[in-house]
Structure 1
Amino acid sequence: MEEEKMEAEDPNHNNWERRPESPPELPAPPEPAAPCRRRCDSSGGRALLGISGSTSKFLMNVITVDDYRSTYWPKLESAIDQLLTQSPGDYIPISYEQIYSCVYKCVCQQHSEQMYSDLMRKIACHLERVSQDLQVSSPAHYIEKFNLALGQYMGALQSIVPLFIYMNKFYIETKLNRDLKDDLIQLFTDHVADKHIYSLMPLLIEAQSTPFQVTPSTMASIVKGLHTLRPEWVQLAPTLFSKFIPNILPPAMESELQDYAAQDIKLQQELMQNGFARGDQSRKRAGDELAYNGASSCGSSQGYR
């Protein structure tokens, strides 16, 4: 009966159209927003709203703990599963309006604490499986698999956080003085990155010393992601982080410029040995060549080693 009730309240529950990864800004659910928000802001009951029990039932059907467990949370859990496991760029057949409405109703019916606990436990269990999968990965695929896991998770947060915006606003920010996105990023740090950083970092340093062992885009994605998760990890490999994040290293000294120039020459030689020719130089004027070399040296002198 509860399932039929929710379908009647949500005429768009069968609208399973293709949507972008980040759900659009949705209209307010059908319940009157002002009384519900007042209730979410307070910890009191109907007396604080100044309405009778019958009026309260009219405004919103009561959601019991059993209702939450048997009907509402399963819908949320199914959507979270799909969002966490989708590949980047994929579209999944869930109704964002329906999920958004579920969260809204549960918050207004004082189920925020339980819903937050369930959400964190659900995602933590998922990340434990991700970590275990990485542990059995071969070194040859370790970097790519970590990059995929990190990118997939961060992509999922772009949808999960907006869907739980009411819980974030009226429970996490108000009562816990935290933010949902920060909490979910911390989960990845605790359950995945912390457990793998000392296996991952030597592989990244080795890959950086061997051009094109790992694609530059993958290296940039992982290094920037690690810096987002925990900025102090820069101290593990400052030179590596400085190649992808500005102002990691102190400004270069004039006495170091010759060393940087020598590193540039070595890199150009390695590129040519790997089949990356500098292209047709016949159209370049002598002044252009000098300007190019000067710009290259200057760029290297600003902390990119």
Structure 2
Amino acid sequence: MEGGMEDSSYEMADDHNHNNKWEAGDGGLPAEPRQLTSSLYGLCSVEHNGDPSVAGTVSLNSSASKFLMNVMTTEDYKSTYWPKLEKAIDQLLTQSPVDYIPISYEQIYSCVYKCVCQQHSELMYNDLIWKITTHLEHVSDQLQCTPPERLIENFNSALTRYMAALQSIVPIFIYMNKFYIETKLNRDLRDDLIQLFTHHVAEKHVDTLMPLLLKAHSTPFQITPSTMASIVKGLYTLRPDWVKLAPVLFSNFIPQIHPPAQESELLLYAAQDQKLQRELAQNGFARGDQSRKRAGDDLSYNGSSSSCPTSRACR
């Protein structure tokens, strides 16, 4: 068995944000896998069912024959192929956008492709889940040690970085997703990986995080609007039913999240608005606070002082 990975006959378009797309057409499959589409199921998932003649009926081109000749054992997978994938996953999960380090996507895609074709999809899927779970448990431990005043920012940073990593990790495992997760597990890889973050990170901290978000939302500029929007939308993506924990907070950042208001609910909304006004007033943002006016705000719009003899008359 060869120790290294062979060059693939396809390429991926990749920018510094890992926004990948297939350069070839035909449903998004690259050149080499498109040539093998008719034989993929024969090579990756055909079972002989006790009839040796089935194998002989599969027409394979020269590229497919190469896979049959070079059988990948479980030991080959563990010693050669998974370490390459694990290194790439580590890098994608931990790097920041500022410290971007290029990854040889061509080799990584080829590595996953070979593992799928050699019947190691289940093993590779379990290794991937274990790897990311271990990472997320470490992230959760770090958040557990974060002081309350930093939890919102740190949680948002962890969630944002993880979601960015998925934009590369999911396409890397496109063959495993297509020929194993979707086909045999009836699930989707991205959904599975989002569920991992929900279970191992978000669910462990949401009870602490939500009161901090409500407090920050009632105190303007304590947290930047962009951070508030990012974390609220992120929590909604993880678990939409978390809206029930803070309906007003979520509705401020996610349009049309609630059904149209009923007449019976108008008094409730009015009370909530009055409560918000009182909280703003307690924090120095009283309605009609003229001391916060900018110089010149007392002048009339036409610039004529005769139309406004005193500043009091304009108020």
TM-score normalised to structure 1 length: 0.78
Q: CA deviation at 1:208?
A: 1.0
Q: Identify the residue that residue 261 of structure 2 maps to in structure 1.
A: 251
Measured against aligned partners, the alpha-carbon deviations of 1:18-46 in whole angstroms (never above 9, x if no partner) come to 64322232553646413442226634158
Which of 202, 208, 218 aligns to 2:217? It is 208
Instruction: Select the structure of larger CA radius of gyration.
Output: 2
Aligned pairs (5 A) from 1:18-97: 19-25=16-22, 28=30, 30=32, 32-39=35-42, 42-45=45-48, 47-49=53-55, 50-51=57-58, 57-60=65-68, 61-88=70-97, 90-97=99-106
Aligned alpha-carbon RMSD (Å)? 3.5
Measured against aligned partners, the alpha-carbon deviations of 1:186-228 in whole angstroms (never above 9, x if no partner) come to 0000100010110111111111111111111111111111111
Q: Identify the residue that residue 188 of structure 2 maps to in structure 1.
A: 179
Mapped pair 1:125 → 2:134: yes
Identity %: 55
Q: Identify the residue that residue 303 of structure 1 maps to in structure 2.
A: none
Q: CA deviation at 1:160?
A: 0.5
User: How far apart, CA to CA, are the structure 1 residues paired with 2:269 and 2:211?
Assistant: 27
> Is the 2:116–2:175 contact (alpha carbons within 8 Å) kept by the matching residues of 1?
yes
Mapped pair 1:114 → 2:111: no
User: How far apart, CA to CA, are the structure 2 residues paired with 1:33 and 1:12?
Assistant: 12
Cα 1:132/1:266, change in 2 over 3 Å: closer
Q: Identify the residue that residue 229 of structure 1 maps to in structure 2.
A: 238
User: How far apart, CA to CA, are the structure 2 residues paired with 1:186 and 1:276?
Assistant: 47
- Letter of the structure 1 residue corresponding to residue 246 of structure 2: A
Question: Between Structure 1 and Structure 2, which shows a larger proportion of helix residues?
Answer: 1
> Is the 1:157–1:181 contact (alpha carbons within 8 Å) kept by the matching residues of 2?
yes
Cα 1:146/1:40, change in 2 over 3 Å: farther
Q: Identify the residue that residue 313 of structure 2 maps to in structure 1.
A: none
Uncovered stretches (5+) of structure 2, i.e. residues with no partner? 25-29, 303-315
User: How far apart, CA to CA, are the structure 2 residues paired with 1:214 and 1:149?
Assistant: 16
TM-score normalised to structure 2 length: 0.76
Cα 1:271/1:79, change in 2 over 3 Å: farther
Q: CA deviation at 1:59?
A: 4.8
Cα 1:183/1:40, change in 2 over 3 Å: farther
Q: CA deviation at 1:64?
A: 1.2
Cα 1:234/1:157, change in 2 over 3 Å: same
User: How far apart, CA to CA, are the structure 1 residues paired with 2:301 and 2:123?
Assistant: 67
